[in-house]
Amino acid sequence: MRLLNLERRLLEATLAGFAPEGAATGLSPLPGEIDWGATFHGMADASNGQARLGMRAAIWLAGLAPVWLERRPRTLLSLSAEERVALLERLLSHRSFAVRELTLLLKLQAAFALLGSATARARSGYDRDRPAPVEHPDSRQRLTLVDSSARGGRS
């Protein structure tokens, strides 16, 4: 799915808005570390038509939220990082299910982009002190050969 230039900018600004750079604590992306738009196309290509429509609607919903939610004549692009965070928080707890779900779809994309980066993932602690996988003797050979008599009489 091709995005207009403005849609792409709104999308990237919205996704980056969930996890702004330079936060004092927590998982903060480094400058240029995350390609915020990258997962969108993979997800859109795999999705059905309705979902693609939803993905596009979500971009406009968040991008124009200052207008319809706060009655301010501007897009999300002109908000500060703190204002974006506050706006996204309001959208996520909005009384309309559709608004909440579409914003959650954006948050999902933000999480996929952020944790899809190997370096950010390493800082998330997800793999910290991960125990070594348990090893078993490979008994597959034996098991797939259960009842290996020839075709015809067997089953």
Partner 1 sequence: MRRETLDEADFVIVGTGAGGATAARVLAAAGHSLVMLEEGARLRTSERPRDAAGALAQAMRDGGTQVAFGSAPMPLLQGRCVGGSTAINSGIIWRMPEDVVEDWTTRFGLGALVAPELTEPIYDRIEQELEITPTGEDVLGGNGHAMARGAQALGLPGQPMRRNAGRCRGSGECLQGCPGERRQSMDVSYVPRALADGARLHTHARVERVLIERGRAVGVRGVRLDPSTGRPRARFEVRARRGVILSAGVIHTPLILLRSRVAGPVGRHFQCHPGSALLGRFDEPIRMSFGATQGYEVPMRERGYKLESLSLPPEMLAARIPGTGAEWQERIASLDHYAQWAAQSRFEAQGRVRLGFGGAPWVRYEPSARDIEQLKEGLVWLARMMFEAGAREVYPGIHHVPEVLRGPDEVRLLEQAQISRADLHLMASHLFGTARAGADPVRSVVGPTLEAHSTRALYVMDASVFPTNLGVNPQHSIMAVVWRAAAQLAAQDSGRVARAG
**DSSP-assigned letters across all residues of 13-30:** HHHHHHS-TT-SSS--PP
Q: What is the CA radius of gyration of the chain?
A: 22
Nearest to partner 1 of 20, 60 (CB atom): 20
Nearest to partner 1 of 47, 56 (CB atom): 47
What Cα–Cα distance (Å) separates residue 132 from each residue in 9, 127, 128, 129?
42, 11, 12, 9
Closest to 66 measured CA to CA, from 89, 93, 84, 54: 84
Nearest to partner 1 of 2, 136 (CB atom): 136
What ranges in 19-96 are assigned the alpha helix state H? 38-46, 49-63, 65-70, 81-92
**Closest CB 144 distance from partner 1, rounded Å:** 7
**Closest CB 64 distance from partner 1, rounded Å:** 18
**Closest CB 143 distance from partner 1, rounded Å:** 6
Nearest to partner 1 of 5, 139 (CB atom): 139
DSSP 96: S
Residues of this chain that bind partner 1 (CB under 8 A)? 17-20, 23-28, 39, 42-43, 45-51, 81-82, 84-85, 88-89, 92-93, 97, 100-101, 104, 107-108, 110-112, 114-116, 121, 123-131, 133-136, 138-140, 143-144, 146-147, 151-155
Q: Which amino acid is at 84?
A: R
**Closest CB 78 distance from partner 1, rounded Å:** 18
